[in-house]
């Protein structure tokens, strides 16, 4: 689920923090910059693991702060393809089942990857697995708050950096706000034996 990513960055320490140990100031700055943020094509950054190398710190003319090039390792949430994860159902919509891990919310299980046959119950807004047994069809509801085991089948990164001024002029004329896209989304699947709500597979 988590990986260690090596990164390099230049950290700016303002003069009023010079009395603190350099390592502590740098750690704080890096966490301030990266914690709980998605880095494009890398994943959701959790926290600093360690600092591997500190290069010489420079002070530039006109700016009293020191600039240090830092090599460090960061803990990043980036599940590998086909990894099994357990999350909680956040809700259902015609697009599929939305799953959350608490610290990461943008996981979708599309209708074709649900245990088949599945149907969407409009009145209760839940997806239902119509499980066939000899007695007849059993309706298994995918309720909000239930724990669900799923497999990661796809991921997508969207670059959400702000666009330049030329395109802003074109969109400012329209009234609607630009749609907020999640920078990092996972697509899951539960179409295998053992996947789906934990309560479906536990033998009491």
For another protein, which is the closer residue by CB, 113 or 151? 151
For another protein, which is the closer residue by CB, 32 or 119? 32
SS3 23: helix
Q: How far apart are CA 133 and CA 38, in angstroms?
A: 44
- Nearest distance from residue 124's CB to another protein, in Å? 27
Q: How far apart are CA 109 and CA 169, in angstroms?
A: 36
Q: What is the rounded end-to-end Cα distance, in angstroms, of the chain?
A: 29
- Nearest distance from residue 151's CB to another protein, in Å? 7
Q: How far is CA 59 from the centre of its chain?
A: 37
Binding residues for another protein, per CB under 8 A?
1-10, 28, 31-32, 35-37, 39, 41-43, 46-47, 49, 71, 75, 77-78, 80-84, 86, 101-103, 149, 151, 192-195, 201, 203
- Nearest distance from residue 107's CB to another protein, in Å? 13
- Nearest distance from residue 75's CB to another protein, in Å? 6
Residue 113 DSSP one-character state: G
For another protein, which is the closer residue by CB, 4 or 137? 4
CA proximity to 104, closest of 185, 27, 174? 185
For another protein, which is the closer residue by CB, 21 or 179? 21
User: Which string of b and e fits 15-44 if b means at least 16 CB within 10 Å?
Assistant: eebeeeebeebbbebbeeebeeebbeebbb
- Nearest distance from residue 85's CB to another protein, in Å? 9
SS3 165: helix
For another protein, which is the closer residue by CB, 43 or 96? 43
- Nearest distance from residue 116's CB to another protein, in Å? 17
98: Cβ contacts below 8 Å, ≥ 6 apart: 89, 90, 91, 92, 105, 107, 108
For another protein, which is the closer residue by CB, 37 or 138? 37
């Amino acid at each position: 689920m988590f990986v260690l990513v090596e990164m390099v960055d230049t950290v700016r320490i303002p003069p009023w923090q010079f009395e603190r140990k350099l390592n502590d100031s740098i750690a704080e700055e890096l966490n301030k910059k990266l914690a709980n943020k998605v880095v494009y094509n890398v994943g959701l950054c959790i926290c600093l693991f360690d600092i591997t190398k500190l290069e010489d710190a420079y002070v530039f003319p006109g700016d009293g702060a020191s600039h240090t090039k830092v090599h460090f390792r960061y803990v990043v949430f980036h599940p590998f393809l086909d990894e099994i994860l357990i999350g909680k159902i956040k809700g259902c919509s015609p697009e599929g089942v939305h799953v959350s891990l608490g610290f990461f919310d943008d996981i979708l299980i599309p209708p074709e990857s649900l245990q088949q046959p599945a149907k969407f119950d409009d009145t209760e807004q839940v997806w239902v697995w119509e499980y066939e047994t000899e007695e007849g069809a059993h309706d298994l509801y995918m309720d909000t708050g239930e724990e669900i085991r799923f497999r990661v089948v796809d991921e997508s990164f969207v670059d959400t950096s702000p666009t330049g001024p030329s395109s802003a002029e074109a969109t400012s004329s329209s009234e609607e706000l630009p749609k907020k896209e999640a920078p990092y989304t996972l697509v899951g699947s539960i179409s295998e034996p053992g996947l789906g709500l934990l309560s479906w597979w536990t033998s009491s």
